[in-house]
Chain A
Amino acid sequence: MKVLRAFHQWMFGYGSPVTMGLFRAVFGSIVFVNLAMVAIDFEAWFTEVGYVPTSLLQRWNAGLARFDLLEHVTNPSVTAAFYALTMLAALMTALGLFTRVASIALFIGVTSLHHRSPDILHSGDTLMRAMLFFIAIAPSGAACSLDRLFARRKGTAPVEPAEVSLWPQRMMQIQLAIVYFTTVWHKSFGEWWLNGTATWYPPQLDEFDRFPVPSFFDQQPFIMASTYSTLLIELAMATLVFARPLRKWVLLAGVLLHAGIEYRMNIPLFGLIICACYLAHYEGFEVAAWWERVKKRVPALERVQEVKAPSAN
């Protein structure tokens, strides 16, 4: 019972909203960049003269209704306006301006765009969509936002952000753990992951080529070491990361794993998106304390008063 009570307290207890605010700002910026990158080939992916006309969607949907405001839109100007509004929502979410409305609009926009052209999505996009939902339902504008800045100026917000129930942040943490746990489970059925040769293959594919590495990276025993360490790190990201003393080291290992993939393989923004989610593993008061330390080192930042924790509980 004690364990259950402690879990319930962790899941639904109250705390500083600073992490959720910072996460919203970082994630909103990444989503904006992501949308801007895809927009370069807007005609190819979102119009009737493109590779994915709307007539294909019915087949892809396989009899399942999908939330897609663009499903029957064949006018490219309307789709372009929708795309632009989604980008605007991303910008406003990043800034924390009309946060609730902007973040809900962003989730709706991104979901519609993803359902409009599903064949160009990678795992980073899927994770982005999942996290945007949590941002939309969380009190994401309660800290690190223009909403709060304006409310402070009007005198309608307290000096320090009011504590909120942290369940949206916990959902983010658990969602991230599910990502890592289930990917290890999928890999456990793979012969090459079990015999320690899996990491030999992806870098050999020309289509993923990015920056060069020393030749021993493609030789044993390095291949075996990188294969098994990938599995171990992913498993730790689903389990040990919840143990406070180990958290920093597990997250560091996760960052190194994704930095390695980002360096060697061309999978745009995936590493950035997933590593941004690591923020969710830090409590608001920890982020605020970190900000205070940064401000001491960089006095010019003293004027920025936004990130403040209610208390270090």
Chain B
Amino acid sequence: MMPQVVSVRVRNERGRRVRLWIPVLPVLLLLSPVLLLVLASAAIACLLWRINPIRALYASWRLLCALRGTRIEIEQNRTAVLVNIR
């Protein structure tokens, strides 16, 4: 199952916090024209490099789905960044 939400939290040196919840599916739908172009370019690149585009697409899809559960948390002094893929 592909990730549903990417949450990003940022805290700057002054203690100001920014929280973002990015819904993945709506963003993908919004970017679908660009994604189609990217997919077409990737398919051409695959054919040039003699890679099966279907296998490449499937592997990329698996990679996207496997991102679910990733959590990256970096804190330094008073600043912090948290990226959580759910």
**A, B: real partners:** no
